[in-house]
Chain A
Amino acid sequence: MILPLCFALFVVGLYCVLTKRNVIKIVIGLTIMEYSVNLFLVLLGYKKQVIMSQVQAPIIEKITNLDDFFMKAVDPLPQALVLTSIVIGLGVTALAIAICIRLYQRYGTFDISEMRRLKG
C-alpha cells in the first residue's frame, strides 16, 4: 500500500517541475522527486511477512538465534544506498540554487517564462 504512495509523491514532484514557473519551485519539485525515490529505496528494506512492531534494526547484539534475526531485521543495504543518494541530491540542489541566484542577478526575476533568450 505504501509503495504506490511513494509513486504518488514522485508524480507530485514531477507535476511541480512541469507546471511551476518560479525556478525555486522547480528546484523544490526536483527535490520532492528525489526524496520519493529515497523513501522507496528505504521501504524496500522491510520484509512483508514481519509485523511492523517486530521489525528490528540490522545490528547483531548477541550471536544467538541468527535465523530469527534474519527474519526480522531490515535489509541494511538500501539504507547505505539512500545515504549516498541524499549526498548526491545535496550536490545537485546546491548547484541548482547557485544557478538560480545567478539567473536572478542576470534577469532580475525568478519567472522561467521571462528567460527566453534561447530558441530555435
Chain B
Amino acid sequence: MIQLLPLFIAIPLGGAFIITLTSRKRKRLADVLGVCAMLPLPVMALLTVGKQGVYNMGSFLPPIGINLVLDGFSVLLLVIVNVIGFLAVLYSISYMEQYTAKYKYYALFLLMVGGMNGVVLTGDMFNLFVFLEVASIASYALVAFGCEQEELEASFKYLVLGSIGSTLILLGIALLYGLTGNLNMAAIAAVTANMDKTWLFSFASVLFLAGFGIKAALVPFHPWLPDAHPSAPAPISAMLSGVLIKALGIYAVTRVVFNVLGATPQFGMIVMIMGALSMTVGVFLAVGQWDFKRLLAYHSISQMGYVVLGIGLGMFIIATNGPLVVAGTALLGGIFHLANHAVFKSLLFLCSGSVEYETGTRQLKELGGLQEKMPLTRATCTIASLSIAGVPPFNGFWSKLIIVIATVQAAYLYPGILILTAVTILVSFVTLVSFLKVLRYVFLGDLPAVLKSIKESPAFMGISLVALSVLCVCMGLLLIPGARSIFLDPAVDVLKQGLTYGKQILAGL
C-alpha cells in the first residue's frame, strides 16, 4: 500500500494532462476521463485507513530526499479530499453542462485535487509549498471559471490575498531553513526540539500563522472567502469550502505547529482567540445575508472557527503541560468537526447548486415553495441544515458536543475558558436560526409564478446529494469506540506526540 502513495498525486496530475490533450473537441470523453481519473482515488484512500508508513521518493533517504508520510492525520484528510472530490465530479457531469469548455474544468479540478493530496501527504516543507501553490493556482482559475464580472472580481481578490499568503509561507520556510538547516519536517522537528527559541523563530511561526490563516480564512484574514466561494460553480464551491480551506489552511498549520515547530502556550492562545472570533464574526455576518451561497460561505468561516478552537485549545493544554486527556478531547472535537464540516458544507453547496441550476437564481427572496417541486433537494438540504446547526442525531451535533465538553473540562484548569463554552453554544444557536431562514425562504412559502415549470435536478446530481446526506446521518457512528480507534484516534495521537513524532518518521515509522 505504501508503494502506491505517489499515485494519489500522479493519477490526478496525469488525468489533467490527458484530458487537456484529448478531450478538446469531444465533450463526453472529458466526462468519462474525469470520472475515471477520480474513481480509483476514494477507493485507495479508504484502503489506507488504519495504515501508516513513509515512502521515500526515488529511494533517497529523508533528510536529503523528499518523503511522503502516511499517518493517522493524513489518512483522515486523504479520505475527506478524495471522497468529496469524487462526489463533486459526479455532480459536475450534469451541472457543468451550463458552461462551455468542460474539459478545462475537469483538468483544473484534477489539478486541484492532486495539489491537495500532495499537501496532505508530503513530509517536506518546500514540497508542501509547491503543492499548496498547485492547488491554489487551480482554485484561482476555477473561481473565475464563468468569466462574468463578479467571478473575475472575486477571483482577483482571492488571487491577491492568496499570493500574499503564499509569499508569507515561503518567507517562513526560508527563515526556518536558515535557522535549522533542514527542509524535511521530521529533521526540522529533531532540531527544534532542542534549540533555544530566538525572536526569529517566533517571527517564522507568526509568518506561518498569517500565511496559512489567509488560506484557511480565519477571521482577520477572511474577506476573500465570502466573495470567492459563492462566485465559483457549485461543485467548486463545495470543494473550496468543504476541502480546500481545510487541506491548505487548517491541516497545514496544524501539522507545522504541532509536528515541526512545537506547540507554545502563546501560539495556542492566539489560535484559540482567532477561532472564537471566526465563530462569532462569521455567524453574525451570515444571518443578514440574502444570497444563498454567500450565506453558506460566511457559515464556512464560522464553522472553521469551531475546528480552530478545538485545535487551539488542545495546543494550549499540551504546551502548558496540562492533562493529555483533556487535550485529546479538544483535538478530537476539532478534527471530528473538520471531517463533519467537509461533508455537510459540501452537501449544502451542492443543494444550493441544484436550486440555482433549476431556478436560475440564488436570491432567497426570489425563491420559495420548492418543497413540492424538488423533494430530494429539500430532504437533503434539511438534513445538512440540521447537521450544521447541531441538532442531535446528525453528525454536527456530536463534534460540537465534544468541543463543548472539552471547553468545560479545560475550564476546571483555566476558568476563563468558560466564556468560550458560552460562545460555542450561542454560535450554534444563531446558526440554527439562520438555517431556519434558509429552509423557510427556499422550500416553504408560496411558489413564485415564474418557477411553476421547474423539476427535480438530474440523476447524477441526485446521487451525490443522497450519498452525502447518508454520510451526514451515519458519521456520528465514528464515535463508537471500535470505529474511533481506527479513524479518529490515530489522527489525534499524531498531534499529541508533538515533536517526538519526527524521530519515528526518520526511523521509518
Contacts and interface: CB of A to CB of B under 8 A. Distances in A.
Interface string B146-164: 0111101111110110011
B286 to A, nearest CB: 11
Nearest to A88: B133
A106 B149 CA distance: 6
Given A92-B163, A96-B159, A115 B137 contact: no
Interface size bracket, B side: 35 or more
B163 A40 contact: no
A77 interface: yes
Contact of B126 (A14, A84, A100): A84
B41 interface: no
B152 A106 contact: yes
Interface stretch (B169-177, B301-309, B354-362): B169-177
Given A81-B126, A118-B227, A107 B149 contact: yes
A12 interface: no
Contacts of B288: 120
B144 interface: yes
Interface stretch (A30-38, A52-60, A62-70): A30-38
A30 B160 contact: yes
B178 A117 contact: no
A102 B147 contact: yes
A117 B160 contact: no
Contacts of A41: 170, 174, 177
A37 B150 contact: no
Given A40-B171, A77-B183, A92-B137, A99 B156 contact: yes
A85 interface: yes
A100 B159 CA distance: 11
Nearest to A103: B152
Given A10-B171, A30-B163, A34-B167, A106 B148 contact: yes
Given A10-B171, A85-B170, A103 B164 contact: no
Contacts of A96: 156, 159-160, 163
B344 interface: no
A44 B163 CA distance: 22
Given A17-B160, A84-B130, A37 B153 contact: no
Contact of B159 (A34, A95, A115): A95
A14 B137 CA distance: 20
A85 B140 CA distance: 18
B164 A118 contact: no
B433 to A, nearest CB: 18
Interface centre among B166, B227, B288 (most CB of A within 10 A): B166
B141 interface: yes
Contacts of B231: 118
Interface string B282-296: 000000110100100
Nearest to B155: A99
Interface in B168-216: 170-171, 174, 177-178, 183
Interface of B: 126, 129-130, 133, 137, 140-141, 144, 147-150, 152-157, 159-160, 163-164, 166-167, 170-171, 174, 177-178, 183, 226-227, 231, 288-289, 291, 294
15 contacts: A41-B174, A44-B178, A78-B174, A81-B126, A84-B126, A88-B130, A92-B133, A95-B140, A96-B156, A96-B159, A96-B160, A103-B156, A106-B149, A118-B227, A120-B289
